[in-house]
Amino acid sequence: MTEAKTLEGQITVVTGASRGIGKGIALGLAEQGATVYITGRSVGDGELTIDATAREIEALGGVGIPVQTDHTDDEQIAALFDRVRSEASHIDILVNNAFKIPTPPVWGGGFWEHPYTIWDDQVGTGARCHYLACWHAAQMLFDGSGKLIVNVSSPGGLGYHFSTTYGVGKTALDRMTADMAVELEPKGVTSIAVYPGSVATEFIVASNAERKSDLSKSQTPLFVGRSVAALAGTDDHLERSGKVLWIEDLADEFDVYDENGNRPPGYSRRAALTGKEG
């Protein structure tokens, strides 16, 4: 007997879903029957595009709708939600994941050594664009049944990770999540942030050729996605509104496994506070 899909027919928007965690969440929601609007800048026949994510969703028997969107452009964000409004009239779940990794990546060093423009990469794209997405989506969320906003954050909101701007962006996102929860509570809309652990995204795997980290116990993007989908499929997530939820805790609670049949360990609380294990 086939299990019922918990998100059957729900309208969802996942920003930054051409690859990595965003793609994993889009696939996780689609596995549970959701229609997924997929945003990102990369389009076409390549592997790391919103079109490729849509094809994978379709292979699962789901509905994936790619919408090319640069989340540093206010007009493109507005156009995205205008399209959703015209086609679906409401939103059940909004997942804010869009993020811009500076070029070259910032793995440490003093803030004075980095181009000041990385503030716009990691605070602008990492927090401001999520605020704008919520602003556009709010009225449509009020009309939906899912009534859920998920902001993909990081333990960088608790302690030093990578750079000053990275931490500022994630801390701002966590506070925005909590304060929006207060204002959304009368509307019955849940606002939460999630902390994935170490995730083996395409970027991390590629960059690991130099860093030589052990990725064998990393979470996969789909593991994160399935954990988010499991939460979205419950009818009591409003009770968690305003909180930061760890992906490993959700996986334990909802008995989630990745595509390899594993439940990877999470990011230790000590590492979250100090930026290092042990």
219 bridge partner residues: 199
| 112: CATH | 3.40.50.720
User: What is the pLDDT of the chain when averaged over all its residues?
Assistant: 89
Q: Is 196 helix (H, G, I), strand (E, B) or coil?
A: coil
More confident residue, 206 or 54: 54
pLDDT computed for residue 34 by the predictor: 96
Residue span of the structural domain in which 221 resides: 11-274
In whole angstroms, what is the distance from residue 88 CA to residue 84 CA?
6
For 213-238, write each residue's pLDDT tens digit: 667 678 889 999 999 999 999 989 99
For 148-207, write each residue's pLDDT tens digit: 999 999 999 999 888 999 999 999 999 999 999 999 999 999 999 999 988 766 666 666
Q: Model's pTM, two decimal places?
A: 0.92
pLDDT at 52 over 90: yes
**Which one of the listed residues 37, 166, 195, 267 is annotated catalytic?**
166
Integer angstrom CA distances of residue 160 from 28, 198, 273? 30, 15, 7
On whether residue 139 sits in a domain, the answer given is: yes
pLDDT band at 101 (very low <50, low <70, confident <90, very high): confident
On whether residue 77 sits in a domain, the answer given is: yes
More confident residue, 197 or 242: 242
In the chain, the percentage of residues whose pLDDT exceeds 70 is: 89
Integer angstrom CA distances of residue 229 from 11, 35, 69, 208? 13, 12, 23, 28
pLDDT at 139 over 50: yes
pLDDT computed for residue 276 by the predictor: 56
On whether residue 114 sits in a domain, the answer given is: yes
On whether residue 155 sits in a domain, the answer given is: yes
Domain count, the chain: 1
More confident residue, 65 or 118: 65
pLDDT band at 277 (very low <50, low <70, confident <90, very high): very low
Catalytic (active site) residue 166: yes
On whether residue 225 sits in a domain, the answer given is: yes
Contact between 24 and 222 (Cβ < 8 Å): yes
In whole angstroms, what is the distance from residue 248 CA to residue 197 CA?
7
On whether residue 6 sits in a domain, the answer given is: no
pLDDT computed for residue 3 by the predictor: 73
pLDDT computed for residue 4 by the predictor: 80
